Chain A
Amino acid sequence: MSLLSVRNLQVLFATENGEVAAVDDITFDLAEGEVLGIVGESGSGKSVTALSIMGLLPRPPARIGRGSVMFEGENLLTYGERAMRRIRGPGIGMIFQEPMTSLNPVFTIGDQIMETVRVHEGVGKAAQRDRAIQMLARVGIALPERRLDDYPHQLSGGMRQRVMIAMALICRPKLLIADEPTTALDVTIQQQILELLLDLRDEFRMAIMIITHNMGVVAEMADRVIVMYAGKIVEQAPIGALFRQPSHPYTRGLLDSIPSLADDRERLKTIPGTLPNPSALPPGCRFEPRCAWRVAACIASVPPLVAVEPEHHSACIRHGELAAR
């Protein structure tokens, strides 16, 4: 049984032009200890997916249209706020893009880590403190007992993200959702944080869902990848297969836009155009207006995800020709 299994999830947002689907009919699984990468540009629905799993979407304007989110066999979408609070922390932990603004500026980091333990486990102050010190040491913070009384503004960006990780993992969740965890950090620090996450995955045997727009991060971390475009999954594959045989023009575009030291092109390759307006989506394939491979059939109907090879699915009707190239 998978740890997390999302089925036909649709998330709607109320806008001036009526309700639009930010996430539309997505289905995926995540096994215990697995690292799943979710890739896509801003607005593709990655973060909305993550927040709907956590039950953290602001409602209204957001609303779950249909679908289910099964975590350890229970549908989280049927959970009330109270039951959901017991999942957040001990079940699923989450870290965010901006470690500066994600930590509360007026409380010490010790207080912010310890309160999580207090709320979920109700242990005494000394035990909370020991746990916080251990966890800070584990995420690579030197002299943790002294850092406990520091405020977030006294730490560097990389240290803040380590604190965020310590806070998210202190109750030993089975799943960590990392929403662009390295985007706001220096390149050297990015590498350290990614390595730390992989180490912790092995040690705590937790699954990680890492959301990013950076193919390099995915290559480094993920066992399996989901590529999202305009609220839909357009391709999903094990990491090797995705890089060896990208089977959707959007995935190819993302891979081509990674700058490489090997070639001496003057300009980076980009995908022309922008994401479609969610209240005026193209009738067929949502990527069709930007696609170099488009044919008349693309606008006829929304292409379903089909198997390219076992475990590898693409939502492009020309995936066979793409593979041949």
Chain B
Amino acid sequence: MGRVIFNRIAGAVPVILLVTLITFGLMRLIPGDVSAALGGISSTPAEREAIRKNLGLDEPAHVQLFKWYGGLVRGDLGRSHFLGKDVTQATFERLPVTVSLSAYSLVLTLLFGLLSGIVAALRQNTWVDQAAMMFAMIGVSMPNFWLGLMMIVLFSVHLGWLPTGGYVPFTQDPVGWLRSCTMPAISLAMLQIGLLARITRSTMLEVLRQDYVRTARAKGLPNYLVVGKHALANALIPIVTVIGIVVSLLISGAVVTETVFSIPGVGQLLTSAILNRDYPMIQGGLLYITLLLVGINILVDVAYAWLDPRVRYDGG
């Protein structure tokens, strides 16, 4: 088990470096830089040049890149040009918002996705199955920003039950957090619920046909053990892979959802950083997102080994 984790972490290092390199390259390909945003519309070319020189943007790209890597080694990701704050500090101010929203969404996804998938498989070809799969189809097909807007129209504008946007930290007011996050979390979860429900259904159908499920019944085990233990433990192996993908989708989907519900999360932070060409902020923010995603993937691999003894013993 320890070796599995170590191998995955070692394998992740080049991935992270490659992502930072691509980010750097892509940002330099987009025309314009932060001097326009900082200097304002009325700034003269000379003023902008001074800003560039001041921030070190006049240096050749490879020098800037090596300086950034030098900072990375020392654990210093630089200061945001635009916010005037340390990049790490700016990211960590926003991260809890995005993470709590994604986590809420993940809980909804797991609850409804797994449950409806399992129930649909157990009631294959009945109206329950068809209803669950239609719901899943709608979830997969509906753009989440549109669903978010429609929910705002219904629940906030017409019914006045929930706020149209904004964010209340959980630590400050749990009920307020729930009120501010429920609609964003649902709009974010719909796609993943549909995805997970469909995968869970087909995996469960496959597993329920297996010989060991028949053996479990032949031993006289009650249905909850046959399905909930013998079938589910095997079905979870492929499902966990999908859950890993779902989490990645949740975090990237959060960017759009944060915009719709004006939630001050990492998504919003990065969107405005990109619009302003705030290089250190983009570079650093994306590094943290990458670390988060890589961490989740390592967790998935560990879960995989934990669930499947064949991987645990042979894979090493």
Contact = CB atoms under 8 A, between A and B. Distances in A.
Interface of A: 54, 56, 81, 84-90, 93-94, 96, 98, 101-107, 115-116, 119-120, 151, 153-154, 164, 167-168, 171
A86 B222 CA distance: 10
A104 B223 CA distance: 16
B313 interface: yes
Interface of B: 210-212, 214-223, 225, 229-230, 233-234, 237, 307-310, 313
Contact of A104 (B218, B222, B230): B230
Contact of A105 (B217, B220, B310): B310
A98 to B, nearest CB: 6
B225 A106 contact: no
B218 A56 contact: yes
Contact of B217 (A56, A93, A106, A120): A56
A115 B234 CA distance: 17
Contacts of B210: 101
B310 A102 contact: no
Nearest to B231: A104
Nearest to B210: A101
A88 B218 contact: yes
Contacts of B229: 107
B219 A104 contact: no
Contact of B219 (A106, A107, A116): A116
Nearest to B222: A85
A90 B313 CA distance: 34
Given A101-B210, A105-B309, A106-B308, A85 B215 contact: no
B225 A105 contact: no
Contacts of B307: 106
A183 B234 CA distance: 26
Contacts of A153: 309-310, 313
Contacts of A102: 211-212, 214-215
Contacts of A90: 220
B309 A86 contact: no
A190 B233 CA distance: 31
